[in-house]
Structure 1
């Protein structure tokens, strides 16, 4: 923000880092590699933790694992080379305690410093060693008898490391940048009326507190990220991300989209289905139908548990496009899942005389040329495929609805590419943007959806079709494998089928896991009367498909597979799922795998086979799986255990990495953020733009995907 000094307007926030003392081209390059180019970038480069050097702790009172600052005199020095160079320095103090400082990397000049009797002040985390407590590679300084030995007056910030730039240099540069902080009015972007109700400090006060916490600061709150200063920064950052997504939504709504307001074909399909829609399916389709009837593009996320019937809702939506004489495309992340959709759609739509085309990587030569011609001419009314749908050679005649399944598995650019296939499709010179429907079988916690998908309307199919029996889940130690083999023998003898899922393809010495190949060979020996199949990601697509088809047709009784079968396989006769090394998988993945059984009327079971000992997090995951079959409950627990980054997937670049905010920790701020965001967009759109620029910057362009 411009600040007037002596008549000159100086934009301190955007002033380059090179304006600081000690920042030459080389240092500037290293900072730029981490996205740090301006003074504002340094203000927002926040500490990841703090060191308390405001007090000294007597050596005798040290506790393992608790970081402290100590001071003592050198009592002994030992330099050894048994396995690698090592320096050990024994310190003693007036409390008659002894602490060992251990160094593996050191210079001769350092050794010379540690003379017996010299005073040393050091900081680090003690741990048990051979001769009592020790600190490995502490930060330290020698105390001159006549020099200044005053203690610090504030907590020392520890910043994320930057390659080629030492922590002291980085701290000094950030200190220089903070010295140039504008006054409160010049820096503040949130209107006072929005801040008054929250009882939070100004941005200037918050930044100074977080970078230079006073001696009496609540260290526990700072380390937990719940200090009022951090909450003030988090609320503005969450607001910036919310505003960026909402602005993209507004920009999208400004585009023209085909009006798809005829539903006779959808009604015909609904009447011909061999099952009745659930109340949730009817409700979600009604929401979609209303969106499609508008002259601006639908942007809707449909989330629903495994088997909740998202595909049939997508098929009904596609009928609205087909009846209008236009096209619909459905894109899935794997050929296995895409082919499942293809089979379902052909079974439902071809009796209505609708041409469903198939376009995947394995469709080549003349067959591919024929499909491309049908897509370009409009003869193919519904097109199903993988990312092959987005390749340059694919031209749609008039794409009106783009459906993306398991959308979090696609990169943002890929989803934009499919949407762009419909731009200009009307041929009248106006840019027509297709409606977008994205689906996920991984339920997303409400708080995460509020933050990550503020540009989308979110629908939930939260009801399973009738006749689906809840899957009974048990956790068993790997030592009980023989019992499971007998259970499979009995199930297959009764005409039922089973999955045995492994987490690796080949055996590994580094990870304790039964690989799929060796498990397959072992089970073939133990169950000679059962036909056992094997599926993993390194198999040729044709071999994989053939095995999956044989399993679906009931020719294979037991399928040994890697997590490749996580999505897209529908075998109603399979009633037993065994997941090997279940402790290594996340809750969402375990829930997806469990959803492969219980798809028929037979009582189904899922066995979580684990390798002891279990970590605390693994134990919580397995307990959650035993306690509930509700994907939305599981998603909330997954968010609590793993955090939002892993839950959404690293490729969800529309949601940039947060610097301060944590969606799990700061979920309670989101309703306030939404309210503030709508007021800003309505009353002060120019302020909204500056808040987005401050926190999000260039990531905004991806947010519309």
Structure 2
């Protein structure tokens, strides 16, 4: 076991430690850059060394223009032979770049006078971007461009160029320079890093691994580096996994000292709740409700994750927990990430709660004036249950005696928000019980590690009579046939969704694509009412559109992926997903889950743009073959890996920068032995290096 009190000897004459120098001491880092770096968790040189690349770009060669291929990221050089500003649905800047072998179009949808000057005729440019085959041949959309003179050619790097996670206002070039300078100092031995795992399993040193990962040489096995099999990546993964193991052990010791109110259904309200339902709960629901009731009856705070596929009945499970808290004389709160989902919870839960004589309060951003004051007063005094959005986290909200917090779709909330709500029920060492729910199935082995510190319940059974959604894939070339099928379904009184997913990672372009499609469909389907909803609308606008759709006043709803989670309209039985090949399996499954909630046979059409790549073809094949969310999650893990399956928004669980829970299974088996060989100071070094202040959030 670790010796948590053994001191470690430190050499009196060693180079400056990387953690001792703040970033503000670095060249070119003023207050503005420092604040942007802090948003990424970078405050000292040590943080720069462990801000690891997301991916690499190959800028080591120039591709002749006649060898450019569709969908391939390339670096090209040439001379601008033509420039124009073209006016259509929107203004765009086009420039034609030519070399001895051919030409390519540089297309900019958003541009500035400085870009027009950079792309002037006669200018020599080096450009980097993804090549696409457009209406006028191959083109680069918003490429990175650098001017040069033909008698002074630009040098080519000898290694791959790392691409780092960044934030608004902090350019990739700045990050690359700062990290590169720090790595260079490490290479020159001007910095010293503590290396608690030196020599472990015969791997490279920590410094050597970092130098390799930040700037792989041409002689390195780049495929192994990208796939994570390279010894440098494995060395970092082992240290990161060890840090998480140590943090979890410390967290569990701290949790053992915490207390929570014992919540028992003293008034027998749960049986009365279930008696109201027009159906019998499934065996899976009964099992999960029993697991939660057992947790709530203890004086140790519950920390439980409930996974349930779309339509599996998580709302009933949540209602039983809420009612148990109220039956004990305590308050409970359930919070959802959007007003649409929160109000849906309120509408579903309120009739059940009213019948039990329980007072429920609805609080969201749109609740204003006297209604808001009345809600706040009720929470301080008489209310049993609060239902709402992030508005419940606000400082002005105070509870009489909060004993249970339920967070729906928990990964969509920030860590500090969830902590703020839990803190509202804190009384000294006593904390409220916490239940988090997700409709995104996660493979069990992955969930056990990623949500370390949480007990896991799975609702793995759908209500009887639920018909599986029929799923087909269709090329964009068959769009007219799809529209005719849609016309037939709408003519039978059914409702439908037409989803336009993210285009070029831009909410603006996504909204424009949805607006264009809604106008087109309204034109070709004039006999039906077409609505539109997207992420750039104000919450009150989105709420109004969804209310009209729920009431049957809109036949066809054109939407972005804003409708991915929680929207429940039983009469909607057709789902058409455009550009389906761009989406991951979990997101496709979530979108498909918006239909099939009524008695009609539902269908989902996956529209794709050929030709399909191998991974896209595999994803669409899985969607056609099964509607089992947990099987889909396993397939998603196989195809994309755990980082993509869990998603970058899942802040607040154990997230890994280097380690891959599927790839590094052998390392995970060795972590406990490695951790046992470390003393207290070494363990603290690893925790601060890889987790830092986020340690307190790992099971929130």
Bucket of the pairwise TM-score, normalised by the shorter protein: 0.7 to 0.9
1:354 is displaced (CA, Å) by 1.2
| Correspondence for 2:304 | 300
Question: Which of 79, 83, 105 lines up with 2:121 in the alignment?
Answer: 83
1:40 is displaced (CA, Å) by 5.5
Question: Which of 694, 700, 703 lines up with 2:695 in the alignment?
Answer: 700
Q: Partners of 1:520 and 1:479 in 2: how far apart?
A: 19
1:303 is displaced (CA, Å) by 1.2
1:271 is displaced (CA, Å) by 2.9
Superposition TM-score, scaled by structure 1 size:
0.74
Q: Partners of 1:209 and 1:650 in 2: how far apart?
A: 25
SS at match of 2:174: coil
Q: Partners of 1:312 and 1:11 in 2: how far apart?
A: 61
Q: Partners of 1:13 and 1:325 in 2: how far apart?
A: 55
| Correspondence for 2:559 | 561
1:349 is displaced (CA, Å) by 2.0
Could you tell me whether the CA contact under 8 Å between 2:309 and 2:440 is conserved in 1? Answer: yes
Q: Partners of 2:73 and 2:471 in 1: how far apart?
A: 40
| Correspondence for 1:406 | 409
1:16 aligns with 2:20: yes
1:289 aligns with 2:297: no
1:261 aligns with 2:264: yes
Question: Which of 163, 171, 178 lines up with 2:174 in the alignment?
Answer: 163
1:237 aligns with 2:247: no
1:332 is displaced (CA, Å) by 0.4
| Correspondence for 2:469 | 471
1:442 is displaced (CA, Å) by 1.1
Question: Which of 567, 574, 577 lines up with 1:579 in the alignment?
Answer: 577
Question: Which of 247, 255, 264 lines up with 2:250 in the alignment?
Answer: 247
Could you tell me whether the CA contact under 8 Å between 2:183 and 2:211 is conserved in 1? Answer: no
1:255 is displaced (CA, Å) by 2.0
| Correspondence for 2:377 | 373
Q: Partners of 1:548 and 1:28 in 2: how far apart?
A: 47
Could you tell me whether the CA contact under 8 Å between 2:675 and 2:683 is conserved in 1? Answer: no
Q: Map 1:167-246 onto structure 2 (within 5 A).
A: 169-177=181-189, 187-189=195-197, 220-246=223-249
SS at match of 1:491: helix
1:534 is displaced (CA, Å) by 3.8
| Correspondence for 2:85 | none
Q: Partners of 2:362 and 2:385 in 1: how far apart?
A: 9
Could you tell me whether the CA contact under 8 Å between 1:244 and 1:700 is conserved in 2? Answer: yes
Question: Can you list the C-alpha shifts for 1:574-632, whole angstroms capped at 9, x where unaligned?
Answer: 22111223233333222111001111232211011223344444333322322221222
Q: Partners of 1:231 and 1:330 in 2: how far apart?
A: 41
SS at match of 1:583: helix
Q: Partners of 2:514 and 2:162 in 1: how far apart?
A: 43
| Correspondence for 2:283 | 279
1:530 is displaced (CA, Å) by 3.6
Could you tell me whether the CA contact under 8 Å between 1:443 and 1:635 is conserved in 2? Answer: yes
Q: Which moved more, 1:555-564 or 1:477-486?
A: 555-564
Could you tell me whether the CA contact under 8 Å between 2:48 and 2:179 is conserved in 1? Answer: no
| Correspondence for 2:27 | 26
Give the RMSD, CA atoms, in angstroms. Answer: 4.4
Q: Partners of 1:228 and 1:704 in 2: how far apart?
A: 30
SS at match of 1:397: coil
1:308 is displaced (CA, Å) by 0.8
Q: 1:531 to 1:298 in 2, by over 3 A?
A: same
1:319 aligns with 2:330: no
Q: 1:270 to 1:299 in 2, by over 3 A?
A: same
Could you tell me whether the CA contact under 8 Å between 2:511 and 2:536 is conserved in 1? Answer: no
1:253 is displaced (CA, Å) by 3.9
Q: Partners of 1:621 and 1:546 in 2: how far apart?
A: 34
Could you tell me whether the CA contact under 8 Å between 1:2 and 1:12 is conserved in 2? Answer: no
Q: Partners of 1:549 and 1:66 in 2: how far apart?
A: 44
Q: 1:684 to 1:280 in 2, by over 3 A?
A: farther
Q: Partners of 1:556 and 1:473 in 2: how far apart?
A: 23
**5+ long unaligned stretches in structure 1:** 54-61, 68-77, 89-102, 115-135, 141-154, 425-429
Relative contact order, higher structure (CA 8 A, sep 6+) = 2
Question: Can you list the C-alpha shifts for 1:31-52, whole angstroms capped at 9, x where unaligned?
Answer: 9976677676576577877999
Q: Partners of 1:315 and 1:104 in 2: how far apart?
A: 59
Could you tell me whether the CA contact under 8 Å between 1:409 and 1:649 is conserved in 2? Answer: no
1:498 aligns with 2:496: yes
SS at match of 1:26: coil
| Correspondence for 1:139 | 156
Q: 1:188 to 1:356 in 2, by over 3 A?
A: same
Could you tell me whether the CA contact under 8 Å between 1:513 and 1:580 is conserved in 2? Answer: no
Q: Partners of 1:203 and 1:359 in 2: how far apart?
A: 50
Q: Map 1:620-659 onto structure 2 (within 5 A).
A: 620-654=618-652, 658-659=656-657
| Correspondence for 2:684 | 689
Q: 1:261 to 1:206 in 2, by over 3 A?
A: same
Q: Partners of 1:87 and 1:609 in 2: how far apart?
A: 38
| Correspondence for 1:418 | 421
Q: 1:581 to 1:593 in 2, by over 3 A?
A: same
Q: 1:294 to 1:503 in 2, by over 3 A?
A: same
Q: Mark the structure with the bigger radius of gyration.
A: 1
